[in-house]
Structure 1
């Protein structure tokens, strides 16, 4: 099976030329300068096309919330999409939760300021932002500072919140109708992310909470769309908010948003069905496509437009450092040397992957060091050396290898194929991996309750430079599947958060990255390139993915569908 899969992958390796690491190759979907059109429906297979909404309530602290609710729940800050690569800027807006300071714009907030005495962040809100009427839930009314304070105080009261996440915040108060003040106990380098545009910064009104915030029929926000239908495992349907406040400036003229009448997320679990849907225009846009499928898709649907990006999801097998034999660094390093990562790139990923692009993302200027700049001890982990792997196993007391369970999600087509390849490599050094595919809900629950197997093959988002290290390797963190724990490492992370000077933070994080890679709590795996594809009637789009933290709502609000072109093309 192992050799057959590799041979098949090699035969299909007709990949597009690689771009610079982290870069995006995109076609401007409005390069002709066409005038915007109102109306129509956009059918999307999102970057999480296989996964249905996990929750509608921010109080649940689920990672996917912004992706599903970001069309109607807004935040204090969002991405300034006018600074996108497509519009001549330098920001691709593909990273899941990274917004450089110069790439931010006020959304609910009109302006904001970090104040030293007393230490606080003061947000001044836009006037006239309205909640639409939601029969049985709330009347139409203006958003105020009281809504912001209420939403944040509720968020941090959740028993599911990430430990320590809001510990740097003292109180959140509405100074007046349009001013909200976050009083801080101490400086935190992630203050803008954690307060204004992160995963857990959604503004949810009290009326929705009172009505039942996890019932999709009750949700209501100030964003460009309203959730009007939800079928678990099938679709989310969003309809235009007629009183949305924001505008898009094109050709010197301002246009009221959104352009679309309707936005539909399709949940499609099977990869072949996803490809058929974009090829036959049942989908207008498919956001994530395995690179090996692109050559055939270009042949069968030559009018499609494409954007290429380095995946925002790092791929690895977490090795539980609290469990034998993975509590021994020699065993963890041996596993890394036993897997031929170069061959995985060439065969499994048809050449379209980067050997080293996690836990730091290459687009993070000053935070990321390429593999050639790493010390020899780190480079060794990426070098296929089964002989040395066997020597290390012998040193650690496992001359005949051992058996362990490798758990992975059946929702990931990539990992369904990758798991047996990894197992085949490990078998060559005497390690037997028993494969355990798991449905997504159980897979995630196993990790969050610490009941996951000793080997846990997963993807995890890069997030941003500080969070990437904190969430994955600091003691007690939810998203720390290797259960890695080192008090000295934790103390360094605390220092990073206290450091105001970004140049110093960059230096500290580069050092911490080397340290954690050397410790090998993961089998470090390549990061693939992926593609988005859309039909030419999808306008004002160029492959942008996130306007905050996995939040595409402001991007979809600016897309329009050239309905006449779509009709002329037979769809």
Structure 2
């Protein structure tokens, strides 16, 4: 009988896994976890084959373009720190990071002997360059807006030491350093205009980029000079693109691949019934709607609230997830997290009469036409869009659903080229400051509702980010949640499962808990497949 790992299935268990599960703590200096001994070469296959649900839109390490692409980039690049499967933060390139007495300076000391894949040394100049690249709006870095709120400058002390100086004290700063999109890159390689980081990669992680066969696969091979002794444990990883859910699942059944990502509910049920794969399930990702609020009806909070009242959340769970989900009628923080007392859990209900009344108050009693951007790559996005389309029709809104491939959807969402966007996402860091990347004013980015800006929300976000006392932060974020729900730049629909499936010959890979499911690629350095 095959194993069936379930991180979370019941609503009562969600409290340890959903957004911002470890918020409210002052910055600390984590330690590096101990590794495990590697199997002998005679016992394992030369490569691990991972069937992924989308071909990368870009390999640029500072741009988040989906969980499938993160699996690849996490194994080519590494940053100063990383999240670990036990929800801790561990040092990667950094030997230590020390907060100085002024409360805003982090002294970073790099490990000895760090190398990039071209053989050059990783130095403090590369750290400075990488952070400045993230800060530069032209780079389109996913967390550039967050860094611009926090970071003042980086000063190089010597080849191994630099100081990252913040504008103000920042409780979540170390969490930001643990993100896969804040990695350290080679100044020399990235400054060379002959190199295009969107289509090639040269990092410092456990695997070296070897090839990208467009439309088919990406292959990476073990880096002999990786800084963790005995890692990676396999000679190569091969990421094969299977955009069709059934084809991806059948590739696992046939043995063509060892691991697959994004197992849809239909295939999860089939695997559970046949007991022919190991399922590793985490719950925390959420389905939601993002809005372009620059002009037109969606610029009015009453219209967005009307949509929140109209959406058939149970219908989405049934159509997109075979009943495997939990509806969200408020803000995605559970009672007991970050001081939240549950008061806004039922801020919205499914109430078509209320929705129509709000549209009339906003001047749209006769409705309007709109487009919903989803994708044909993921059935859950498509089905969510269709249910939302049906819900909006009931209140007089005529919605057209657009279903491009994932790369096109990503490129459009990153620049705000949509009216309504269907998204499946989660918080990016364990601290409650995950909301900054979603709600802060600024240019459109992957996780924001395009052109949304609110002075009160920006003020609360800054207060939450710069306050250390947990009780004070709880009060701040309580005010934030209420304001966010009143303005509704997002409509939160439901929690969903994030599922990996694998052969029972796979060892070491782990679907990380809760919101960290999207950083599970880091465990591929520990992954082997028995012969």
TM range (shorter): 0.7 to 0.9
Give the alignment partner of residue 147 of structure 1, picking from 120, 126, 130.
Answer: 126
Contact 2:315 2:387 in 1 (8 A): no
Aligned match of 1:399: 365
Aligned match of 1:257: 231
Contact 1:149 1:172 in 2 (8 A): yes
Aligned match of 1:226: 208
> In 1, Cα distance between the equivalents of 2:364 and 2:418?
23
1:171 Cα shift?
Answer: 3.1
> In 2, Cα distance between the equivalents of 1:399 and 1:523?
21
Aligned match of 1:114: 99
- 1:36 equivalent to 2:39? Answer yes
- 1:351 equivalent to 2:323? Answer yes
- 1:77 equivalent to 2:48? Answer no
1:340 Cα shift?
Answer: 2.3
1:441 Cα shift?
Answer: 3.8
Aligned match of 2:283: 310
Within a 5 Å distance, the mapping from 1:336-415 to structure 2 comes to 336-356=308-328, 360=332, 366-367=337-338, 369=340, 373-375=342-344, 379-381=346-348, 383-415=349-381
Within a 5 Å distance, the mapping from 1:6-45 to structure 2 comes to 18=10, 20-21=13-14, 36-38=39-41, 39-45=45-51
Within a 5 Å distance, the mapping from 1:490-569 to structure 2 comes to 490-544=458-512, 550-563=518-531
Within a 5 Å distance, the mapping from 1:148-187 to structure 2 comes to 148-157=127-136, 159-161=138-140, 162-163=144-145, 165-187=147-169
> In 1, Cα distance between the equivalents of 2:110 and 2:421?
44
Contact 2:289 2:421 in 1 (8 A): yes
Contact 1:145 1:178 in 2 (8 A): yes
Per-residue Cα deviation, 1:4-42 (whole angstroms, up to 9, x for no partner): xxxxxxxxxxxx963622668xxxxxxxx9972335211
Q: Secondary structure in 1 aligned to 2:261?
A: strand
Aligned match of 2:396: 430
Q: Which runs of 5+ in 1 are unaligned?
A: 1-15, 25-32, 85-90, 92-102, 135-139, 248-255, 564-571
Aligned match of 2:22: none
Contact 2:82 2:179 in 1 (8 A): no
Q: Which has the larger radius of gyration?
A: 1
- 1:283 equivalent to 2:257? Answer yes
> In 2, Cα distance between the equivalents of 1:325 and 1:68?
40
1:365 Cα shift?
Answer: 6.6
Give the alignment partner of residue 322 of structure 1, picking from 294, 306, 314.
Answer: 294
1:260 Cα shift?
Answer: 0.3
> In 2, Cα distance between the equivalents of 1:192 and 1:116?
16
> In 2, Cα distance between the equivalents of 1:116 and 1:284?
49
1:272 Cα shift?
Answer: 1.5
Output the TM-score relative to the length of structure 2.
Answer: 0.83
Q: Which runs of 5+ in 2 are unaligned?
A: 1-7, 18-35
Aligned match of 1:292: 266
Q: 1:281 to 1:514 in 2, by over 3 A?
A: farther
Report the more deviating stretch, 424-433 or 213-222: 213-222
Contact 2:50 2:239 in 1 (8 A): yes
> In 2, Cα distance between the equivalents of 1:347 and 1:368?
34
Q: 1:428 to 1:149 in 2, by over 3 A?
A: closer
Q: 1:235 to 1:23 in 2, by over 3 A?
A: farther
Contact 2:171 2:467 in 1 (8 A): yes
Q: 1:317 to 1:549 in 2, by over 3 A?
A: closer
C-alpha RMSD of the superposition = 3.2
Per-residue Cα deviation, 1:112-149 (whole angstroms, up to 9, x for no partner): 111123841011221123334x3xxxxx3443333323
> In 1, Cα distance between the equivalents of 2:278 and 2:417?
43
Aligned match of 2:32: none
Contact 1:40 1:262 in 2 (8 A): yes
Output the TM-score relative to the length of structure 1.
Answer: 0.77
Q: Secondary structure in 1 aligned to 2:463?
A: helix
Give the alignment partner of residue 305 of structure 2, picking from 322, 329, 333.
Answer: 333
Q: Secondary structure in 2 aligned to 1:404?
A: strand
Q: 1:114 to 1:423 in 2, by over 3 A?
A: same
Q: Secondary structure in 2 aligned to 1:176?
A: coil
> In 1, Cα distance between the equivalents of 2:220 and 2:92?
20
Aligned residues: 493
